[in-house]
Chain A
């Protein structure tokens, strides 16, 4: 089974620009979560989507948004980029809830640098 695929792996943007990151989950997984990883704040939950609906949202400003498509692929968007948005953005997919709750399969991440 192919793993979680994130694109692009690396990107550089300037302040004020926007960025869209893409995530293809493991086949059959309907839940997709996004996390931001930075040296200062560690791993922080951004949001979770299931069947095209946002199920949970972390404590991030409205500049951070996401969506999920009918094939479970997900995108996240960050508008009006700030220097502090520089981070590794990790996507994780999981089977539905129940016995596999919390078992996240992570992609390798998209490393965003904001200049």
Chain B
């Protein structure tokens, strides 16, 4: 069965600092991996997606994630945090190429001025 673990339910950074949100997955088959973001009182929005084409995936709003099979990780990074990045971020995995996603617990990102 597939699963996702996000390390750190809350992450706080200063504006302009590096953002690093950690995600580890478990999957019995080559996974599809995703990062979604949720702003208050809104649904989720896809940031980026890994489907084995390239290990470094670039997404929207300056975010990127690197797939490391040996570490079963898919950490999300952004070189310089902006106040508008404050939101909850979810890592998700899909097995077998279907649209049923298993989500991590989420990481609340706070950006301090």
Chain A interface residues (CB < 8 Å from chain B): 4, 31, 33, 35, 42-45, 48, 55-56, 58, 90, 92, 94, 97, 99, 101-109
Which of A4, A45, A103 lies in contact with B49, CB distance below 8 A? Answer: A103
- B33 to chain A: closest residue by CB: A102
- B42 to chain A: closest residue by CB: A108
B101 touching A102 by the CB < 8 A rule?
yes
A105 to B71: give the CA distance in the assembly, Å. Answer: 29
- B41 to chain A: closest residue by CB: A108
Which residues from A are CB-within-8-Å of B106? 42-43
B49 touching A102 by the CB < 8 A rule?
yes
- B100 to chain A: closest residue by CB: A56
Which of B36, B41, B97 lies in contact with A101, CB distance below 8 A? Answer: B97
A101 touching B99 by the CB < 8 A rule?
yes
A42 to B42: give the CA distance in the assembly, Å. Answer: 15
Which of B46, B97, B100, B103 lies in contact with A42, CB distance below 8 A? Answer: B103
